[in-house]
Every structure is written in C-alpha cells, then in structure tokens.
Amino acid sequence: MASAKIVIDGKTYEVPIIEGTEGERAIDISKLRAESKVITYDNGFGNTGSCQSAVTFLNGEKGILHYRGYPIEQLAEKSTFVECSYLLNYGELPKKSELRKFDKAIRSSGKIPKGIKDIIDSFPKKAHPMAVCSSSMVALSGFYPELNDVLELDDKKKMSIITQLMGQILTMSTRFYRNSQGKAPRNPKEDLDYCSNFLYMMGMKPDPELAKALDTLLILHADHEQNCSASTARVIGSAHANVFASISGGIDALWGPLHGGANQAVLEMLEQIQKDGGDSKKALQRAKNKEDSFRLMGFGHRVYKNFDPRAKIIKKACDTVLSKLGVKDPLLDIARALEEEALKDPYFVERKLYPNVDFYSGIIYRALGIPTNMFTVMFAIGRLPGWLSQWKEMLEFKGTKIVRPRQIYVGENHRDYLDIKKR
C-alpha cells in the first residue's frame, strides 16, 4: 500500500494513502492524532474525505457525474426517476419485475396518517413550505415507532422506508401547497406515474411531456456526492437517529440559500432585473463590476470548474416545457436574454461561467406555475432517494463511526470565576 510521510516537530509519521476506483487518492490520517497529538485543520471540509462511498462519483474538473457508475447523460435520456432511485439505493439497475414491484410500492405508499394531515393543516398559509416539509418528515417518526430503531431494520424494512417516504413526500408537500392556495388537497392516484401524480396533486394537468421534463429534472437532482445536505443526513444517521430525523436534517440543510435555495435566488434575481427595467445587458455589466453588489445567480458552480453536465440536459427539458406551455412571462424573457448574452460574452466564456442546473430548474418551475418558495421543496423531492441511499450506505458500512469533528480552540485561556459583585 502506498504511504506518505508527515513531519511534525522534527518527527516523521508514515500514513497510508488510499485510492478510490476512479483514481482519487486520499491520505488516511485517522490515526495521526493518536500518534502525534496533532489534528488537521480544513475549514468547510473541502479537502476532507468524510467517508468511503459507492453511490455517486463527481469530477468537477472534467464535468463528470455518475450514479453507481452510470453517466448522468445516459440516465437522463433512457431512465426514469423511479428507476434511478432504485439504482442509487441498491447499486444495480433493476430487472423488470424488480422495477414493477418498487414502483407499485411507491404508488401505494402515498397516504399519510391523519395526525400528519393535522400538523400540515395547522401551519399558516404563509409558512415557508420547507418548514412544513421538514416538520412533517420528522413527525412521521411518531407514527411509525417500529422503524425508529435503525439497528433493527432488515432489508425488507429498509425497502419499505424508501418507497414509503418517496410516496409520502409528494402527499405532504402538495397538501400544504393546496392549503396555501385555499384549495382542497388531492389524494394520490395509483394509476399515475410518479411525476404525473405530482402534477395532478398540485392541481395541474398530468401532461406526458411535462411529466417527462419534470422526471428528467428530478433525475438530475437525485444525488450529488457529499454535499451539505447529504453530509448532514449522514452525520445525524451516524448517531443511529431514526431515518425520519436524518432526512429531516437533510431537508433543513438544503433549505439554506447557499445550497438548495439557489434556484429560488435565480428567480429573485430576475425579479430585481425586471424592477430595474429588464435590461439583461445592463445586468451582465453590473455582474462584471466588482464594486457593484449585484450578483448573477445560476451561473458557474462551486464544484464544476468547466461546465455542469446537468445544465445541457436540463436546458433541453426547459425548452420542452416553455414550448409546450407557450408561457408569456417577462421574467422568462429576461432569463432567456441573460442566457443568450452570457454565452457569447468573453468575460463569462473565459471564466467558464455558464448557466447551471439551478438557472434552468428555476425557469421550469416558474413556467409550471409553481411558487418561488416551493422551489426548494421540489429540490428535496428530487434529492430524497439520494439522501436515503447515503443514509442506507452509512448504516450498512461496518466501519462507520459517529461523526465528531475536532476544532482549533481560539478562545480565552483558564480564568477563575469572579463574583458578580466584583465585576
């Protein structure tokens, strides 16, 4: 096995180097503190491998995204969201009978307990949908106590959890949406596919082309390696918390504007441009001015250094939705103008600041008539099977430890307590 030498205070420590199946190498420092009394410092864990995983491979420099080894381009073209969900959680593409069983289980799992309905119905109409999504998710643990002890979960129960939550998240999210619109909730239909069912429950016509475009979008969102929300689900799960708590934690992390809230930020940016006169060229000039506080949202990506492989795929889905619906919306006109101008502007081309998946997903949701504050819930619906696969893998990996990072203390040194009368 390859190794590296680390010199600390003149003493040399030999640490192993481990290598993944795609050639990524890592220095294993798991025993370094015990031997040297020194820890490593990595703000944000951007250079730290927190686990070994076989779920998703991402290469930001080359623009590669694979689910269980399958390129995202192939899955988006040939697969379905339900099939990808099976793949993420079980490692292989399902046989016909396996997919039929999995799909049927999801379709029949949409009902939610009356208590959960009451919780959702108790929220004010103006509540943020992510608050409702997270709260109702963790509340499910009170209605399924037999699933709370993760050490007692066999393969059958894990399968049941996956299909149950994929069905119930649609019901919970659409129920609150309908409430917020002053309309009666719709129950799921078992004869509709996953995305057609969602459209129906939202109150839309389950058009096959729109359902397919939405299905593609959910595939692109299904997993993205050890991002903030997936890592959160794993951290919570490492304490052997129940699955509902782990997934609820993932939802909460996704809620952050630096993570899942990016597509909402795109629409808010477009609204700001509209208020300023709707001039896309002026907006691009402002974005290039470092002295200007205006930021161009939905362009570039923290991980992908060249291009986001999902963006080209989702652009096609976006064009399908806009063409099918024939929507006349000034915000969408601004978005298209921004895209066109940025793709030929040397400043953005040289810096490889291309429209990313968040830019196009926001446009699709807007065209479908989904409110801006529901965008992150849509992201959560897509990311759910990824969180579940990360949680399941973490639970089944024999070397999993409870997550407990160290810190570099920079506070006051020892101080003696001073009586309040002497302060």
How far is residue 370's CA from residue 362's CA, in Å, rounded to a whole number? 9
Instruction: Kindly tell me the number of DSSP H helices and DSSP E strands found in the chain.
Output: 18, 6
Report the candidate in 313, 401, 385 with the shortest Cα–Cα distance to residue 91: 385
| 345 counts as catalytic | no
Phi then psi dihedrals of residue 15, to 5 deg: -125, 145
Residue 209, number of CB atoms within 10 A of its CB: 13
For residues 356 and 303, is the Cβ–Cβ distance under 8 A? no
| 128 counts as catalytic | no
Report the candidate in 194, 177, 192, 137 with the shortest Cα–Cα distance to residue 161: 137
Q: How far is CA 158 from the centre of its chain?
A: 21
Residue type, 271: E
Which one is catalytic: 66, 103, 301, 308?
A: 301
* Tokens (6 digits) for 361: 């997903």
Which one is catalytic: 193, 223, 308, 358?
A: 358
How far is residue 318's CA from residue 133's CA, in Å, rounded to a whole number? 26
How far is residue 403's CA from residue 393's CA, in Å, rounded to a whole number? 15
How far is residue 209's CA from residue 199's CA, in Å, rounded to a whole number? 12
Which residues touch 166 (CB under 8 Å, ≥6 apart)? 82, 85, 106, 109, 194, 384, 385
Active site residues: 301, 358
